[in-house]
Amino acid sequence: MLNFFKIKLTSLLKDRSWVLEILPILLLGLLSFTWFRGNNFIGGGDFGMPMDWIKCLKSLTWSWNEDYSFGAHDPRSLTILIPYVLIGAFLQGLGISLVLIEKIIFYLLFVSGGLSMYYLCSALGIKKIGKIVASLFFMVNPFSLIIIWRVSHAFIQMPYAFAPLYLGLYINGLLKKKNYVYWLLVTLIWEFTSTSSYTWQAAVIIHWLPIGLYFIFFFFAFPKQRNYAIKSTLMLVFSWLLINAYWLLPFITSLSQAIASAHSPALMSDIDTLKLTSVKIFEAIRMMGFWSLHSGYRGEPYYPYHNYYNNFFVLSISWLIPVLVIFGLWKNWICKNKLIFFYSIALITFGLLGMSGPTLPFGNLIIGLYKLFPPLALLTRFTFLFFGIPAFLAFTYLIGEGVNFLWEKGEKKFSSFLYFPLGLLGFLLFVILVWPFWNGEVIRSGNNNYPGERFTVPSYWFDAKKWLAEEKVCKDQ
């Protein structure tokens, strides 16, 4: 394994072009610091970071959660240990303030999405300009704005950010026929990047679904490599199960409890939730259409920027998304990259049917399927999110290919004039289309009905915490 790392490090140092290519990703990530508007915390709804990371770390040595009323068996909370709480506790141990810890974690999550997509594009053989465009677009797009970085939707930034990485590692491993050391390394990378997101168990399926689908297409595309593909995939699956057993086994024992809590009378039924969170297909192909974007409560909108997405010019720009996706598919077709062509179509079709199913003319059949298999409805109840991540993952690398296609065609005739239209395209996609990322409205401010998602913790709270800790020490003595 040490030899493997030595070879990879030597290769990276030899070809340093990747440094300049990822620089725009790292710089765009700095945008996340502006969302805090000073030394505020960010939290709300189902999202919130610990006020004491070290205490949280200690509490995760067992599955009993003492912070729930009189305590409760909560095996799902074990998943947040690696890497989320470990990082927070380490930074707190260094004396870094809680606000700065949250800013660092936001930056890491935001940038990780771009770097993950960069790696996937590299595994797919996408050229430089396409890789950069795809990486930046995966960070800032309408779906990531409206769904992923709406923090009240819970801690869903992590499964979104690393989904491209796992698919890229899998594709790279199969195409280059990597040995068992590589697959074990993939398992470790997976464990130490996004296991914390599996408090939402559907994220496990979101990560494995693109991999499983790629395995099927690879199996039929390369008959001579079927044995290797099966062995490698089984090695990855079993090593993943083994390393995640510390939270999987306790979770399985409490599965009935988790299902019961998800069907509380206070919550909407699975079918009603499916219908509510589905989007119309002509909205889905533009990565938009979520019901609450143009809704509100007692005269106050759920999204402060809802009017921005009523603007005809902004909505017109959003049609660039499906246009570039089509160009990306066309490039794969003419380059005879049939595996990625058909795989992408399958992944997108599956995603669009899942996101838009109940709104389609044959929507009753899809609702009937959910009723026939109730566990399926429970897993996918947030349809736009569950099906959106895999589908828009494919959208993004195809957009990169689409830009490459247009660049290659234009370079032959208008080589000296290409930088202006490319710059304009980037400005429209990365700035105008997603302006709330830039003005800070991605994080909701307070109104007459809802508190804002930025908040401060009074200094007396920390004084009280310190006093209680000292009192406890005195009593223990």
User: Is 464 among the domain residues?
Assistant: no
Q: Which amino acid is at 352?
A: L
Q: Terminal CA-to-CA distance of the chain, rounded, Å?
A: 49
Q: How far apart are CA 423 and CA 336, in angstroms?
A: 29
Secondary-structure percent of the chain, ordered helix, strand, coil, rounded to 5: 75, 5, 25
Per the DSSP assignment, residues forming a β-bridge with 47 are 44
Q: How far apart are CA 222 and CA 233, in angstroms?
A: 15
The residue assigned the tokens 């009240």 is: 152
User: Is 162 among the domain residues?
Assistant: yes
Q: How far apart are CA 338 and CA 451, in angstroms?
A: 51
Q: What's 51's DSSP letter? A: S
**pTM tops 0.85, yes or no:** yes
pLDDT of res. 180: 92
pLDDT of res. 475: 54
Phi first, then psi, for residue 47 (nearest 5°) are -120, 135
281 contacts 356 by C-beta, under 8 angstroms: yes
> In total, how many domains does the chain have?
1
* Gyration radius from the chain CA atoms: 23
| 3 state DSSP class of 179 | coil
User: Is 473 among the domain residues?
Assistant: no
The sign of the torsion formed by the CA atoms of 210, 213, 219, 222 equals negative
Q: What's 428's DSSP letter? A: I
User: Is 198 among the domain residues?
Assistant: yes
The sign of the torsion formed by the CA atoms of 426, 432, 434, 435 equals positive
Q: How far apart are CA 359 and CA 366, in angstroms?
A: 10
208 contacts 386 by C-beta, under 8 angstroms: no
pLDDT of res. 67: 66
160 contacts 144 by C-beta, under 8 angstroms: yes
Domain residues for the domain of 238 are 32-61+79-459
pLDDT in tens, the chain (477 residues): 556 545 555 655 566 778 889 999 999 999 999 999 999 999 988 788 888 898 888 888 777 766 666 666 677 778 888 899 999 999 999 999 999 999 999 999 999 999 999 999 999 999 999 999 999 999 999 999 999 999 887 789 999 999 999 999 999 999 999 999 999 999 999 999 999 888 888 899 999 999 999 999 999 999 999 999 999 999 999 999 999 998 888 878 766 666 666 556 666 777 788 888 889 999 999 999 999 998 988 888 899 999 999 999 999 999 999 999 999 999 999 998 999 999 999 999 999 998 988 888 888 888 888 778 777 766 667 888 999 999 999 999 999 999 999 998 887 777 667 788 889 999 999 999 999 999 999 999 888 888 889 988 888 887 887 787 777 655 555
pLDDT of res. 265: 60
E strand map for 162-290:
none
Q: How far apart are CA 343 and CA 216, in angstroms?
A: 9
The structure tokens listed for 172 are 């790279």
258 contacts 251 by C-beta, under 8 angstroms: yes
User: Is 185 among the domain residues?
Assistant: yes
pLDDT of res. 395: 98
pLDDT of res. 259: 65
| 3 state DSSP class of 452 | coil
User: Is 441 among the domain residues?
Assistant: yes
Of 126, 95, 110, 204, the residue nearest 396 (C-alpha): 126
226 contacts 173 by C-beta, under 8 angstroms: no
User: Is 474 among the domain residues?
Assistant: no
User: Is 315 among the domain residues?
Assistant: yes
Q: Which amino acid is at 138?
A: F
pLDDT of res. 462: 78
**∠ CA 375-376-377, rounded to 5°:** 90
pLDDT of res. 457: 86
The structure tokens listed for 1 are 């394994």
pLDDT of res. 437: 97
